[in-house]
Structure 1
Amino acid sequence: MELIRYLVVLRNRWKVLVAAVLVAMAAAWFLTPRQHLYQATSTLYVGSRNIDLNNPNDVQFGQLATLDRFIQTFAQMIRSAPVAARAVERAGVPRSADSVVAATTTHQIGQSNTGTGSGGTQLLTIDVTDEDPVVARTLANAMADSFVEEVQNFEPTAPTSEGSIPALPAYVFERARLPVVPQPTGLMTNLLVAALLGLFLGVGVVLLEDYLDITIRGVEDAERRLGLPVLGAVPELGATASTPLRPRREPRPQAIV
């Protein structure tokens, strides 16, 4: 019975629910950026060409782990200020190094979802997002070229000792192409989530208002609130169109002769 009563309360206050949903959706509409963004991707080959990360017979476990740490380190170096500054200078675009770092992401192709790097390949992608597709492509290629130049300054050129991994070079495996399809803005998803949140908020407000309301609106409401049976009820007097209330008058006395 309580569930039915709550449903009746929500039905009687449906305007509050609709208003809450509309307000939440309007807020999501204005807060969601509707500017189209494009993402360009360049791919790097990192590591020795003679090492296959997917073949455990090629290297020992310790060497494989060391190689994977190099790849993860390179992935972090790509999103560094020196590489971004070099890329901006090379590309000649009106972007700051900090904005390029914020718009750049890296991913190791074939990396497992556990985050350990197990089973990953020696390919790293550089994804650059920008409102201009040409700028996105130019920066993605410039980031790849700048990283290759930057890593050459850090990697030793002397031969390594026996049993150790040779210096890990980096090569541009695939250059970025011009993106033609913008990235999803997520407007529809945000509107749907906002509608659900607005509905939940509206339901909460209506139920809280009903809980705080102490007005007794009928016999059943009185029995529910007081926990006692109702013996009788005094009907409310009121005027209607057919039987208007008239003031009671005393009979006028007859004339005395």
Structure 2
Amino acid sequence: MSMMESLFNILFSLCCGFGTGTLSGLLGIGGGMIMVPLFCLVFNMSPLSATATSLFVIILTSVFGTITHLYHKTCLLRIGLITGLSGAPVAFFSARIARYTPNWLIVLVTALIIMYSAIHMLKGTDIFGKYTENNKHSHIKQTSSWQHMSSLRTAVLSSIIGLIAGFFSGFSGVGGGFIMVPFFVNFLQMDMKMTSGTSLLAILFIAVTGSIQRALFGHIAFLPGLNMGIAAIPGAILGSHLVRKVPERTLKIVFSCLLIICAIMLIGKQVIH
């Protein structure tokens, strides 16, 4: 690789890292669904290495994003902790499963999960008009989630969401936010703005265990991961600030469209090769 190509890759990593970090803080995702396609398409990583490196970067984005969300009180601490601690051990073992899984299956499963989450989120949003009936009362949902934080039902649902997110995080190399965000909205009746910080807190625990397992297998490409991760930190802080200013409907539409684009990119990459 020439010096110019190396310089381009570094600059590209920094730009992508900042953009990914911003979306992470804004939408409550780790950013894996963006980074995995980029690592595969731009850096020619194998799906296994791309997913492992993605989890490594997600640790940095989730740490700083969570701190900012806690400062702005856009994070439900108890729900985030229950979800994250439930998913963390599952992510550790599902990362082992990924080691013995064909690359095409990892890509296919990841793309299908991402597409499902996008469609699920769009069901409650009228893209071309006003809010649907559910979104009109989103402020009621947020109040309801606060009132039921200590209930057994909320704790059980949070734990189940964590188990599901943890499995697919360790397996596919994404933080799990693409599962947690729509599940928080639909099953815990949380406001979209509150899901961002709550999801990032849970992602932190899940990503750490998944990354440890991948690092032990030597799958993480640390140099491009560090380049992207360093740039993602200020982006995550910025996104966490912006979440209070962006309308609920806009957040849902942006989140869903981003999921669809990433799913198409992953499938396209697999078809081409």
TM-score by length of 1: 0.24
If each structure's strand is expressed as a fraction of its own residues, which one has the higher value? 1
The answer to which structure, 1 or 2, has the higher relative contact order (CA under 8 A, 6+ apart) is 2
Q: Report the structure, 1 or 2, having the larger helix content.
A: 2
